[in-house]
Chain A
Amino acid sequence: NAGVMQNPRHLVRRRGQEARLRCSPMKGHSHVYWYRQLPEEGLKFMVYLQKENIIDESGMPKERFSAEFPKEGPSILRIQQVVRGDSAAYFCASSPGVPNTGELFFGEGSRLTVL
C-alpha cells in the first residue's frame, strides 16, 4: 500500500522555465495539501484541494503559481517562469475524511533548484 507519492524528488530549472510537481495521495484520500519549505525556514501552507476543487489557496503566491487536483490522476503544483526565490522543498500531504479531523500523511517532498 503506497504512501503519498511525489515526483520528481529533485528538479532543476533555469530562471524563466516552468516547474511541474506531482503528488499522488494515499489510496482513498480525497484531500491534498501543498506546503513549501524555503531553505532553513519552516513549513508554509500553500493550498488545499479536494478532487476537482480548490478549497483554500490563501497561501499561494498570486502570480505564477497554480494547483489542480483532477478527477483522475495526481495533484499538480505548477510554477511558471520560475525565479531563484522559488528554490525550496515542496511537500504534499493527503488526508482522509472531513477537513481538520483527518491525520496528515506526507510525501517525501520535491526539491526544486532554480539556477
Chain B
Amino acid sequence: KNEVEQSPQNLTAQEGEFITINCSYSVGISALHWLQQHPGGGIVSLFMLSSGKKKHGRLIATINIQEKHSSLHITASHPRDSAVYICAVEKLTFGTGTRLTIIP
C-alpha cells in the first residue's frame, strides 16, 4: 500500500510570495495528481504527472520518480489561491492535504 505524505500541513503566506507544497510517496507509481479543494468543498484537478514538469498559469508541478517526490509551486500567490491542496497517487491514495492561506 502506498503511503503519501504532504508538507507542510498548514501554510500562511503574504500575497505575492512563492509557495511550495511537497508530496512524498513510498511505492513507485505511474501517475500522481495534484488537486485543489476550495472552502466550499468542490475539488478541481490541477495536474496529472508521470514525469518531469508541468505548468499552468502561475502553477507549476514537478515530479522526481527516482526520489518518489513531487512539488507544487505557486508563483505570485493571490488570496484566491487559498484552498486545500491535495496530492494523490494512482487515483487511490491521498495525502492529508495542505491548507494554504494567502493574506492580502
Among B44, B45, B91, B96, max chain A CB count under 10 A is at B91
Interface residue B74 (Cβ < 8 Å from any Cβ of A): no
Interface residue B92 (Cβ < 8 Å from any Cβ of A): yes
The listed residue (A42, A44, A48, A108) touching B91 by CB distance below 8 A is A48
Question: How far, in whole Å, are A33 and B92 apart by their CA atoms in the complex?
Answer: 9
Given A42-B86, A45-B93: A101 touches B44 (CB 8 Å cut-off): no
Interface residue A18 (Cβ < 8 Å from any Cβ of B): no
Size of the A side of the interface (Cβ < 8 Å), in residues, is: 24
Size of the B side of the interface (Cβ < 8 Å), in residues, is: 21
Given A42-B95, A42-B97, A100-B90: A108 touches B33 (CB 8 Å cut-off): no
A43 in contact with B30 (CB, 8 Å) = no
- Interface bits B71-104 vs A (CB < 8 Å: 1, else 0): 0000000000000001010111111110000000
Distance between A27 CB and nearest chain B CB, rounded to angstroms = 17
Chain A positions within 8 Å of B, measured between CB atoms, are 33, 35, 42-45, 48, 56, 59, 89, 91, 93, 95, 99-106, 108-109, 111
Chain B positions within 8 Å of A, measured between CB atoms, are 30-31, 33, 35, 41-45, 48, 50, 86, 88, 90-97
